[in-house]
A = this chain, B = another copy of it.
Amino acid sequence: MSDKINVGILGATGMVGQNYIRLLHNHPMFRVTHVAASPASAGKTYANAVSNRWLMDIDISEEVKNLTVADANDPVAASGKCSLVFSAVSLDKSLTSKLESDYAAAGFAVVSNNSAHRATLDVPMVIPEINPDHLDIIPMQRKNHGWSKGCIVVKSNCSIQSYMTPIYALMRSGLPIRRMIVSTLQALSGAGYPGPSAFDMIDNVIPFINGEEEKSEREPLKILGSVCGGVIEPSAGPLISAHCNRVPVIHGHLACVSVQFEKRIPSCEEIIAVWENFKALPQELNLPFAPQHPLIYRKENDRPQPRKDRNAEKAMSVVLGRLRKCNVLDYRFVGLHHNTVRGAAGGCILVAELLKEKGYI
C-alpha cells in the first residue's frame, strides 16, 4: 500500500467525480487522498458534502467517506496530499482552463475530463490504445510553460470512442480510412446530472446534442495527429460527418458507422480479424484498467446493445457488431462503449496509469 500514488479529484461531488471514487476503490496503483469541490462544500466531510446526491449504485468507499473536501480553486490545498489530480470540475471553459493550468504550474499532473484544454496545441488528448505516444509531448509542454513537473493531459469527448478505436485498428493494419458517416445514439449520463428532463425522454428521442457533432468530427483528427515541433499537428483525415441523437438509455453510446477505405477494400473476415487481434500499449503493459480485448466483435445480428454490452471487460472494451457492406461507402458496422467508464473516468484512469509507466508522475 505504501507504494501507491496519491491522487486527488477536483469536482469530486459531481457525477463524474463520483465515478472516479467508485472506480478508484481498491485500485492497485492509485489511492484517493484528496477531494476538492466548490467552496460551498469545502470543509465538510466527503460523505456530508455529497449527502443525498450520491448517484452511484455502490456505496461511497470507506477510505473516501471521511476525507475533508477542499476548495478546488486552491491548488495549495492539495499540496503534499497527492501528485496527480483528476479534473472533473464543472466551471465555465475559461475558468476550467485557468484552474487546470494553475494545478499544473503547482506541480500536479492533471488528467482532465473537461473540454477546456482539448484544443490547446501542446496538450495531448489521449485514447490510450491509439495515441499513447502523444504523452511524450509533456517535456515540451513543461518547457513551454516553465513547469517543473506538472502537466495537463485530456481525454476526448465521449461520443467518439465507439468508432475511433476500431477505425484506428484498421489504419494501423495498413487499411487507412478516407471518410465516414456516423450516427450516434447517446446515453443520458453523457449529459451530466440532471441532464435532459424525463418529460422529454420518455416515449421520445432528441436528434440533437449541443456542440456534440462538431467535437465528434474534429477531435479524432487531433488524436490521429502527430507531435511535431512542440505542438500536436492534427491529421488531415479521415473526413467525418456525425449525426448525434440522445436516447433514453442510462449508460452506453452506440454508433452506426459507414466507412470508405482510402485504398484497398478488405474482406469482412479481414476486418474482424484485425479487430479481434487488436492490442496496444495498455495491453502490452498489462495496465490495471486495460481491457484484455480493447475491441470485442459480437457475431449475433442484433448486438451490440447498450444495456447488454456496455459492461464488457469492466466497461473498458468497445463492443462491435453488424459488419456488412454499405451501398454508398464501403462497409457499415455498429460500435458501443460505456460513456462514463471507457469514455470518461475509466479512460482517464488508464491515461494516468500510462503516465506512471512512462515516468511522468
Contacts and interface: CB of A to CB of B under 8 A. Distances in A.
Interface of A: 51-52, 55, 57-59, 179-181, 183, 185, 188-189, 191, 193-208, 217, 239-241, 243, 245, 247-250, 254, 256, 258, 300-312, 321-322, 326-329, 332, 334
Given A243-B332, A311-B58, A198 B202 contact: yes
Contact of A185 (B200, B245, B300): B245
A116 to B, nearest CB: 24
Contacts of A249: 202-205
Contact of A239 (B181, B247, B327): B327
B205 A250 contact: no
Given A57-B307, A258-B181, A207 B321 contact: yes
Query: What's the number of copies of this chain in the assembled complex?
Result: 4
Contact of A188 (B198, B256, B306, B328): B198
A237 to B, nearest CB: 11
A180 B321 CA distance: 22
Contact of A311 (B57, B208, B241, B247): B57
A305 B246 CA distance: 11
Contact of A245 (B191, B207, B208, B256): B256
Contacts of A203: 202-203, 248-250, 306-307
Given A193-B197, A198-B196, A198-B201, A206 B302 contact: yes
A55 B307 CA distance: 10
Contact of A194 (B57, B191, B197): B197
A245 B13 CA distance: 27
Contact of A207 (B180, B248, B256): B256
A311 B326 CA distance: 33
Nearest to A258: B181
**Chain A to chain B: the 3 pairs with minimum beta-carbon distance, closest first:** A183-B183, A194-B197, A198-B201
A52 B302 contact: yes
24 contacts: A52-B302, A57-B307, A57-B310, A181-B328, A185-B205, A194-B200, A198-B201, A202-B203, A202-B249, A202-B250, A203-B203, A204-B305, A206-B302, A207-B254, A207-B256, A207-B322, A208-B301, A239-B327, A240-B328, A241-B326, A241-B328, A241-B329, A247-B247, A250-B307
Nearest to A15: B199
A254 B326 CA distance: 20
A302 B179 contact: no
Given A308-B57, A328-B181, A188 B202 contact: yes
A302 B208 contact: yes
Contacts of A55: 199, 308
Contacts of A51: 300
A203 B199 CA distance: 10
Contacts of A201: 198, 201-202
A201 B341 CA distance: 21
Contacts of A52: 300, 302-303
Given A241-B258, A243-B256, A195 B199 contact: yes
Given A57-B307, A194-B199, A199-B250, 14 more contacts: A180-B328, A193-B199, A195-B198, A198-B201, A198-B202, A200-B305, A203-B248, A203-B250, A203-B307, A207-B304, A207-B305, A239-B328, A243-B256, A245-B256
